Structure 1
Amino acid sequence: MKMRTFKESDRQSIIQLWQDCNLSRPWNDPDQDISRKVAFQPELFLVAEDKEQVIASAMAGYDGHRGSVYYLAVSPEYQARGIGKQLMSEIENRLIKLGCPKLNIVVRSSNDKVLEFYRKLGYMPDDIVSLGKRLIADEG
């Protein structure tokens, strides 16, 4: 397995990966989400590949106060091999180098498998409520 930053030639493979991992939602256009990430902190958009095939991805960001992770996905046939853990470790290292003191992760409360994955990595629920407001509607 090789880990690297996103390349434009990965776009369709990443979108398929997110669909395979049930990360896509009707209100988020994955193509636009990729374009937005590539335009801002592209060095925090990681891809894992095996035999030149995209098998995992993760987007991270840092706003000067907190870091965030989105679209952590590992192809179903590659899950439970430590790839997600390796991606998270690389993200944490990159964020630490930027001076990021804390990493926040948003996970759907019904996604027990992913919640357990993060708990094993040392992430614990914060006593907060995540609020959101769409500022730009995706056309999809």
Structure 2
Amino acid sequence: MDSASASVMLWRANAKDALRLERFFRQFDEVSFCEWQDAKCLRGVLVQKTTTAYLALDLNGEVVGAVLGGMLGSRGTINHLAVSPQYRAQGVGQRLVEAASADMKRVGVLRMFLFVDDANLAGKRFWTAQGFCEPRGETTFERDL
């Protein structure tokens, strides 16, 4: 683990962290953070037992990484993950994924999934390095409610 990563503390996010999460995720174009995902929405998500969320904090308590995911039955999803550029490639993202994965595994989740924008090549490399692969023969359908 790099010294920068070692100096980063993981904090389980709660409803009081909603605004910090919103502000952090909005900094990154590659994070598909919808306009309706504001602090009020996130507060509602963060109080659910099926949510896993962590902040990575530097020595000054500043957010340098975050992950937000959810669980439904035997499947879990990573909805958003971001790491500040100066902390990338130092294990922070991996630690966030491991923390969310441990939460999911603890409650019986057997498979995790996530979405990566086709143009996000760095994201694809990161998720492949974490052991994720693209599903074959599946098409995702979605709609806003």
**Residues 25 and 60 of structure 1, relative CA distance in 2, 3 Å threshold:** closer
CA displacement at 1:116 relative to structure 2: 0.6
Secondary structure of the residue that 1:134 maps to in structure 2? coil
- Structure 2 length as normaliser, TM-score? 0.82
CA displacement at 1:6 relative to structure 2: 1.1
Instruction: Answer whether contact 1:5 1:42 (CA < 8 A) is retained.
Output: no
Query: For structure 1, which segment, 54-63 or 19-28, has the greater mean C-alpha deviation from structure 2 after superposition?
Result: 19-28
Q: Map of 1:20-59 to 2, 5 A cutoff?
A: 20-22=27-29, 23=31, 25=33, 27-41=35-49, 44-51=52-59, 52-59=61-68
CA RMSD of aligned residues (A): 1.9
Equivalent residue number for residue 124 of structure 2? 115
- Percent of aligned pairs with the same residue? 19
Give the Cα separation in 2 of the matches to 1:41 and 1:133.
Answer: 24
Query: For structure 1, which segment, 2-11 or 109-118, has the greater mean C-alpha deviation from structure 2 after superposition?
Result: 2-11
Tell me if 1:14 matches 2:21. yes
CA displacement at 1:27 relative to structure 2: 4.3
Equivalent residue number for residue 140 of structure 2? 130
- In structure 1, runs of 5+ residues without a counterpart are 136-140
